[in-house]
């Protein structure tokens, strides 16, 4: 039993990347909402109290600062994830049959989290999807940031306005993931302890 409790679930590099990502994503999200408010895509704005930057210029500075933190940290995370074999161990193999089973269990509130070192298929799908969302945010963000310099990328994404919508919907999906992630932490609090202590 003591061996089971002392088993390393999350190595130090992964925990550091996780918490840096959490800060960077929060900073980008809150500042991004302030930037969105300056030129809304839809008929609503985000309450100023939950935005970051105070004004458009300040929000842009926060957004760009957090962007570099996120990109550097994500590069470290993905590189170490591949080199260490973490991605291979955690995300593979994939099984469509197991995914349907785990989704049904999740919808019934019966999805098990007995072994925190093992990702179920819902977790594999969610965490893999977040990486893809991050790529979508970076690519569309590059177009919004330097539209002329990334003209080819802009055209591939369907133009500047299309990139704005892609950026918004990727951000919305990321925000939904964060909400679900926090709810799961509340339901299974030992996952938070594992991410803090590694064991």
- Domain range for residue 183? 116-198
pLDDT at position 10: 83
Q: Report yes or no on 105 lying in a domain.
A: no
Are 76 and 129 contained in the same domain?
no
The domain total for the chain is: 2
Q: Write the CA distances from 63 to 128, 143, 187, integer angstroms.
A: 24, 15, 31
Torsion of CA 126, 117, 66, 130, to 10 degrees: -10
Check residue 2 and give its pLDDT. Answer: 42
pTM: 0.82
Considering the domain architecture, whether residues 121 and 192 belong to the same structural domain is answered as yes
Same domain (yes/no): 124, 71: no
Q: Are residues 126 and 162 in the same domain?
A: yes
185 and 127, same domain (yes or no): yes
Please check whether residues 18 and 74 belong to one and the same domain.
yes
Q: Where are the alpha helices (DSSP H) in the chain?
A: 2-6, 12-38, 56-83, 86-91, 96-107, 121-145, 151-156, 160-187, 190-197
Residues 127 and 186 in one domain: yes
Both 126 and 55 in one domain: the answer is no
Per-residue pLDDT of the chain (199 residues), as tens digits, is 344 445 777 888 989 999 999 999 999 999 999 999 999 999 999 999 999 998 999 999 999 999 999 999 999 999 998 999 888 887 777 777 877 777 777 677 666 666 666 777 777 888 888 889 989 999 999 999 999 999 999 999 999 999 999 999 999 999 999 998 888 788 777 777 778 887 7
């Amino acid at each position: 039993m003591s061996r089971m409790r002392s088993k390393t679930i999350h190595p130090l590099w992964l925990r550091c990347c996780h918490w840096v990502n959490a800060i960077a994503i929060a900073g980008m999200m809150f500042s991004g909402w302030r930037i969105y408010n300056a030129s809304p895509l839809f008929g609503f704005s985000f309450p100023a109290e939950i935005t970051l930057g105070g004004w458009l210029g300040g929000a842009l500075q926060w957004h760009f600062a957090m962007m570099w933190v996120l990109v550097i940290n994500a590069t470290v995370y993905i590189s170490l994830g591949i080199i260490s074999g973490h991605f291979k161990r955690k995300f593979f193999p994939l099984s469509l049959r197991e995914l349907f089973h785990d989704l049904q269990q999740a919808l019934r509130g019966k999805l098990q989290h007995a072994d925190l070192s093992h990702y179920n298929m819902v977790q594999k799908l969610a965490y893999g999807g977040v990486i893809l969302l991050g790529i979508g945010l970076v690519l569309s963000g590059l177009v919004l940031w330097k539209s002329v310099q990334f003209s080819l990328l802009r055209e591939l994404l369907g133009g500047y306005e299309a990139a704005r919508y892609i950026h918004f919907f990727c951000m919305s999906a990321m925000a939904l993931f964060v909400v679900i992630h926090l709810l799961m932490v509340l339901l299974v609090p030992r996952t938070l302890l594992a991410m803090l202590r590694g064991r």
